Amino acid sequence: MSVTKSHHNLDVVHHGIVLISDENSTSRSSRLLLSKDELCIQVIDDGTAEPEEARDILMENATRQVVIVKKPDTGFGLSIKGGSENAQNMPIVISKIFKGLPADECGELFIGDAIVEVNGVSIEGQSHDEVVNMLKSSGDQVTLGVRHFTHMTPFLKPAHSLQPDSTLDQLFDGRSTRSNKAQSESRFSDSKWQQHIDGREKKWKTLTSLPLAMAYVTRYLWGTDNIRTNSFEVRAVDGRSSGIVHCEDTAALEQWISHISKHILSLNQKSIKMSNKYLHQSEQISYIGWVNEYLNDDDQEELKIRWQPRFLILKGSDVCFFDVPPLNSEDLNKCVYLYKCYDVAVKQVPNTSPRRDKRDNCFLIETPIQIPNHYLSFESPAGFELFEQAYYRTVYNTITQMQIIQSRTFACNFEGRPSGIVFDIKQGISLYDIPTKSYIWQYRFRDLQAVADDGKLCVQLSFTDDRSLNPDKIEVKDIECEDVVTVVFNLHSFVLAKIVSTDPDYLKANRYVGNAED
């Protein structure tokens, strides 16, 4: 149903009947109304449904007293975020609970709880470090006053909600029994049930409306590589969730995913344009969006999840990773990881090659430091292609149009002599001999035929040279340098920029990002 229709001042572009389940496996029939800016979730007004806002107020106003007792040689077993920093007063929120430690074993704390008291003392106005010190100085036992703070915990869920063990998950899972599958089909196809919830005879009540700007839509069970059958979830930038939306069939699912993703992308582009009005030309944003990162083994053991959402931004010459979307200019400086675009390599992992698990659309962002190398996954091939094109433009603009770096020199040794390998967007690749203070060879980027390295000390460059005495007219230059990976990554970036500068249509017609098998 894609016809535009008005529902209470909503310019609805898509709507339909679905089943929605929560983390406790409770399900109910619901109506989704999609506008250009938000996703509205409605249920039949039978006099018992409470709006989400009312439930949140009740939950957030209730303070629980939780006592945690340390074990020998352990901490309390939790991590926190937030606090009063730089004139911003953010709540202290529990961001991690480590399995098997006291905070987990007490059974009364959840990721997303806001700490309001430590041993009866209010922490209002305290900084993150001050609260950490209060916890450390509590000795072997601490009493926390906590509240469930829904709107300040973006994309953090209680650990039990990550486990795919709900009844509705089994009902809509393709591996379920035939009777369960038949039951789900009958619930969708029952004409009487459809007529009952059509809205003509019953009044609909809005439970919540989720803003789509910088929202996240996924088909996967949270933190895993298990994909839901005909189901998806939307999480807003403020952390609120649609619940698990179960569609009638694959066609309905694809329609919803397509429509929602389209509007998220459109709103993200508007956010980029608005932000760029206040940023210097060299700091312009070219990409924002969600991606999932595969966690390392230690994180898996502690959290029992394998994937974590990251908000990825390409800004100026920077590749930035965030845990949550930055909502102002100050937040832009609070990324988890920051790299220069020319110091990294992006390599696609083909779906036909071995992968870490069952997730598709995977790629690597390799850094000069072996750890961390980021193993990432998009929800769809289109998501990767969009990022890929933005990455091309970022590298090209950084090296050429913005004239930020145009030339880079790296210390090295060539034939036992101290030298410098120089990459220049105009002059090409050359070697500067330090003892004689002169360039001893120079080639154009188009002369470069191959690059090989051992990942440690040596890099080998092969050039076409008509002056060569070799029958194949190939000259091989062996160079030693301490930072081989950085040299190779920069060389690839300069080659890409040079190709685009001579052929602007290259970005549209080609895919330069490397293959993870290379």
Please tell me whether residues 383 and 417 are part of one structural domain. Answer: no
Report yes or no on 225 lying in a domain.
no
| Predicted local confidence at residue 57, as pLDDT | 43
Query: Who wins on pLDDT, 59 or 79?
Result: 79
Please tell me whether residues 442 and 392 are part of one structural domain. Answer: no
Report yes or no on 44 lying in a domain.
no
Report yes or no on 54 lying in a domain.
no
Report yes or no on 228 lying in a domain.
no
Q: State how far Cα 53 lies from the chain centre.
A: 27
Q: In this predicted model, what pLDDT tens digit does every residue of 431-456 receive, in sequence order? A: 999 999 999 999 999 999 999 999 88
Please tell me whether residues 411 and 428 are part of one structural domain. Answer: yes
Report yes or no on 518 lying in a domain.
no
Q: In this predicted model, what pLDDT tens digit does every residue of 228-261 receive, in sequence order? A: 999 999 998 877 889 899 999 999 999 999 999 9
Please tell me whether residues 393 and 439 are part of one structural domain. Answer: no
The span from the CA of 428 to the CA of 364, in Å, is: 28
Report yes or no on 238 lying in a domain.
no
Q: Which of 367-371's residues contact partners 24+ apart within 8 Å by CB, and which partners?
A: 367/339, 367/343, 368/343, 368/344, 368/483, 368/485, 368/486, 368/489, 371/296
| Predicted local confidence at residue 47, as pLDDT | 62
Please tell me whether residues 420 and 394 are part of one structural domain. Answer: no
Report yes or no on 385 lying in a domain.
yes
Read off the pLDDT of each residue in 284-300 and give the average, rounded to a whole number: 83
Looking at 101, 133, 148, the residue that finishes a domain is 148
Q: Which domain holds residue 433?
A: 407-505
Q: Taking the model in full, what pTM does it have?
A: 0.69
- State yes or no: pLDDT of 297 exceeds 70: no
| Predicted local confidence at residue 45, as pLDDT | 78
Please tell me whether residues 352 and 412 are part of one structural domain. Answer: no
Task: Report which residue type is found at 424.
Answer: D
Please tell me whether residues 426 and 477 are part of one structural domain. Answer: yes
| Minimum mean pLDDT range among 205-209, 380-384, 444-448 | 205-209
Q: In this predicted model, what pLDDT tens digit does every residue of 20-58 receive, in sequence order? A: 987 555 678 899 999 999 999 998 876 654 554 444 444
Please tell me whether residues 372 and 414 are part of one structural domain. Answer: no
| Predicted local confidence at residue 402, as pLDDT | 58
Please tell me whether residues 64 and 143 are part of one structural domain. Answer: yes
**Percent of the chain at pLDDT above 70?**
77
Residue 280 DSSP SS3: coil
C-alpha Rg value of the chain to the nearest Å:
27
Please tell me whether residues 84 and 109 are part of one structural domain. Answer: yes
Please tell me whether residues 418 and 396 are part of one structural domain. Answer: no
Report yes or no on 253 lying in a domain.
no
Read off the pLDDT of each residue in 460-473 and give the average, rounded to a whole number: 92
* CATH code, domain with 430: 2.30.29.30
Compute the C-alpha angle 109/113/115, nearest 5°. Answer: 100
φ/ψ of 141, rounded to 5, equals -140, 140
- State yes or no: pLDDT of 410 exceeds 90: yes
| Minimum mean pLDDT range among 152-166, 220-234, 334-348, 393-407 | 152-166
Q: What is the mean pLDDT of the chain?
A: 80
* CATH code, domain with 143: 2.30.42.10
- Can you tell me which residue has the tokens 């910088």? 214
Please tell me whether residues 350 and 451 are part of one structural domain. Answer: no
Looking at 148, 183, 217, the residue that finishes a domain is 148
Looking at 354, 373, 400, the residue that finishes a domain is 400
Q: In this predicted model, what pLDDT tens digit does every residue of 111-144 receive, in sequence order? A: 778 898 999 898 888 888 899 899 989 888 999 9
Q: What is the dihedral of CA 249, 251, 256, 262, to 10 degrees?
A: 160
Query: Who wins on pLDDT, 328 or 367?
Result: 367
Banded model confidence at residue 168, pLDDT cuts 50, 70, 90: very low
The domain tally of the chain equals: 3
With the C-alpha atoms ordered 20, 22, 28, 31, is the resulting torsion angle positive or negative?
negative
